């Protein structure tokens, strides 16, 4: 049965895009934690976290479907400027002057960009497996090199979409259920690496995400992020020790650009919310609750 305190809402932008989100707010506005999903994902990435976290008792929790993904179906322009503008509009509409902004993968990059564009709206950052351009490895590094080719493809796809040429139905993706099936298969003796590679399948991504939005998200992942030294807010970073898409050591060097940061290392390949949900939840709860020192500390968690 749907929780009446976890309402499904929408925000219409000045350009006509409709952004879907869910807000856990059982009473008047409190401290807010924003949760942004990754590439070709949606807000169900955070359903398990919101259902289980102790932050529900003292924090409001906002999950957003990024423009072009999930229920925020949009076949126009999408990128850092649009995603940051959408989030700023939602915070204003809901009456939150500030928030801790967290995200996984692409969502972590957007959180950094949002803090640079709207410093007064951000009281903290939670970066789960961020994707700085200089740390990209493997397929993501190749994608970053191909970014100049994606622009013309996006232009063509958007032109066709404007003429009404697009898929009429996209497959739904419930990541809470997808995670549950993956963990059950691994527990039954399945090959963890083969199962987790399902999450990086471009064919699955394209079944659930408009093609133009997908390519624009890939372009964004390969882009440069802003100067970190100007972001004065405290930062919690959760990094995979065996990341499939970034070099953890280079990512740590990049994180050193923040004036105030904490790193928690988790044994994972990239999908920390899937592979290490409890450790992720505890780390975020401790940090948000102030139980851990927000200094330059490095912690390894198994």
User: What size, in residues, is the chain?
Assistant: 302
Give the model confidence (pLDDT) of 274-298 as tens digits.
999 999 999 999 999 983 334 333 3
Do 240 and 268 meet the contact criterion of CB atoms below 8 Å apart? yes
Do 279 and 240 meet the contact criterion of CB atoms below 8 Å apart? no
DSSP code at position 40: T
For position 1, what pLDDT does the model report? 45
For position 77, what pLDDT does the model report? 93
The reported pTM is 0.93
Residue 213 in tokens: 């939005």
Q: By CB neighbour count within 10 A (0-12 exposed, 13-18 middle, 19+ buried), where does 22 fall? A: buried
Do 113 and 84 meet the contact criterion of CB atoms below 8 Å apart? yes
For position 296, what pLDDT does the model report? 37
In sequence order, the 6+-apart residues with CB closer than 8 A to the CB of 256 are: none
User: What gap in Å lies between CA 274 and CA 181, rounded to an integer?
Assistant: 10
What are the residue ranges spanned by the domains of the chain? 6-301
Coil, strand or helix: which one is 246?
strand
- Residue range 165-179: mean pLDDT, rounded: 93
For position 34, what pLDDT does the model report? 98
Coil, strand or helix: which one is 264?
strand
- Look up the CATH superfamily of 6-301: Alpha/Beta hydrolase fold, catalytic domain (3.40.50.1820)
Measured CA distances, 247 to 57, 111, 126, 137, 260 (Å): 36, 20, 19, 6, 21
The sheet carrying 6-12 orders its strands as 6-12, 18-24, 59-64, 31-36, 99-104, 122-128, 235-240, 261-266, 297-301
Handedness of CA 129, 131, 132, 138 (dihedral sign): positive
- Please determine, for residue 210, whether its predicted confidence score (pLDDT) is greater than 70: yes
Q: Which residues pair with 298 in a beta bridge?
A: 263
For position 266, what pLDDT does the model report? 97
For position 23, what pLDDT does the model report? 97
User: What gap in Å lies between CA 90 and CA 98, rounded to an integer?
Assistant: 11
pLDDT band at 162 (very low <50, low <70, confident <90, very high): very high
């Amino acid at each position: 049965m749907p929780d009446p305190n976890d309402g499904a809402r929408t925000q219409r932008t000045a350009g006509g895009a409709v952004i879907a989100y869910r807000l856990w707010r059982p009473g008047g506005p409190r401290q807010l934690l924003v949760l942004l999903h990754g590439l070709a994902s949606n807000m169900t990435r955070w359903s398990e976290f919101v259902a289980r976290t102790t932050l529900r008792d003292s924090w409001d929790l906002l999950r957003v479907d990024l423009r072009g993904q999930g229920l925020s179906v949009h076949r126009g322009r999408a990128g850092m400027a649009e995603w940051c503008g959408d989030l700023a509009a939602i915070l204003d509409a809901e009456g939150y002057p500030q928030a801790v902004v967290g995200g996984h993968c692409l969502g972590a990059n957007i959180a950094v960009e949002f803090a640079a564009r709207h410093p007064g709206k951000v009281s903290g950052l939670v970066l789960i497996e961020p994707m700085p351009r200089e740390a990209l490895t493997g397929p993501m590094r190749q994608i970053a090199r191909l970014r100049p080719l994606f622009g013309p493809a996006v232009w063509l796809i958007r032109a066709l979409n404007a003429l009404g040429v697009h898929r009429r139905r996209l497959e739904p993706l419930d990541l809470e259920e997808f995670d549950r099936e993956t963990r059950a298969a691994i527990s039954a003796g399945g090959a963890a690496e083969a199962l987790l590679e399902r999450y990086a399948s471009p064919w699955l991504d394209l079944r659930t995400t408009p093609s133009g939005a997908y390519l624009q998200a890939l372009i964004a992942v390969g882009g440069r992020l802003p100067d970190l030294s100007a972001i004065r807010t405290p930062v919690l970073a959760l990094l995979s020790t065996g990341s499939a898409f970034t070099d953890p050591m280079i990512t740590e060097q990049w994180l050193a650009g923040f004036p105030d940061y904490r790193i928690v290392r988790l044994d994972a390949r990239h999908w920390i919310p899937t592979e290490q949900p409890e450790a992720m939840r505890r780390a975020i709860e401790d940090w948000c609750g102030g139980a851990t020192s927000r200094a330059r500390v490095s912690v390894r968690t198994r």
